[in-house]
Amino acid sequence: MDMFKKFWLLLLIAASIPLFSFAYAQQGIEADQKSILITGTSSGFGRLSTEYLTAKGYFIYAGVLNDEEAEIWADNPNVKALILDVTKPDQIAAAVRLVEEEGRGLYGVVNNAGVVVIGAMTEMPEAEFDRQLDINLYGPYRITKAFAPMIIESKGRITNISSVSGISTSTAWGAYSISKHGLEAYSDTLAAEMRKFDVSVSLVEPGPHSTNIGQAMLERLNAQGETFENSAYRQEIEGTLSWADQTLSQSGDPMEVVKAIEASLSDENPKARYLVVSSARAAQSPVRQLLREAIQLNQDHQYSMDEAELVEILKDVLAEQ
């Protein structure tokens, strides 16, 4: 190619760049704008995270259950609402196709959708136990599996919303704690598997915070007419429900959880776990429980370690962080 033709070719390319950039911007797509999928965005941490992250410059694919919930995001140009029930594979597949067709790619997934099911483990109907696991544990598994190729391509982030209830539990909280304890194990395994693709996996671990998850649980129990009148644990369950009614709506600032979610998506070296609690006592509780379990594992067998050996292990683990 002679110099004259090269000159005109370079001129044509240079003139096209602004046109391509304009067309890209017209679609509302910024070249450096990261896209994040968040499930359960009609309320609670999901809604607050969507509002906060779009203000920070992210584009959010907001999972909702129906058209009425989708209307929440109708006026936000940086949100695309997706009808996305995490228990329905057809809706998940449709969401994957839509995100792929839009061409933005996907940098992060925040598995936030969750519910609370209350009841004693020896009395809970199997359908209720199934519902708890279907949403809180199988939901993140389904969503992450479906969107994993896109996250791997972008070397992105996966954030799973767990709970301190996944570390310690009490009467009537068993099903919820099992779902979150399972999410802990799932996330640890996923982190190990995704490391080879430079994808980070984090758990956000809230204590009690002021969201509507407790209220939703109470409303559902009332709608079902469930009083636990015939339960052998009636007193304990009623105490739990009274606590939920009075405490969950007046607990920690949920924006602290939202900021932890944002940190898991933006920190240069994201942490495996982000504990978000509102007091020193609440921070000590899950750590004490994990230490209590370690002591139980070390108790009365042929390889039990003495106090000095346990302290050395603690020092080694601290040095690894």
What are the residue numbers of the active site? 176
CB 116 within 8 A of CB 214: yes
Where b means 16+ CB within 10 Å and e means fewer, 108-121 reads: bbbbbbbbbbbbbe
Encoded tokens for 179? 């779902």
Tokens 């792929």 label which residue? Answer: 100
For the stretch 285-293, contacts whose Cβ atoms lie closer than 8 Å and that sit 24 or more positions apart, written own/partner, are 285/164, 285/168, 286/164, 286/167, 286/168, 286/205, 289/167, 289/168, 290/167
Q: E strands of the chain, at which residues?
A: 35-38, 59-64, 79-83, 108-111, 157-161, 200-206, 273-276
| CA–CA–CA angle 205, 208, 210 (5° rounding) | 115
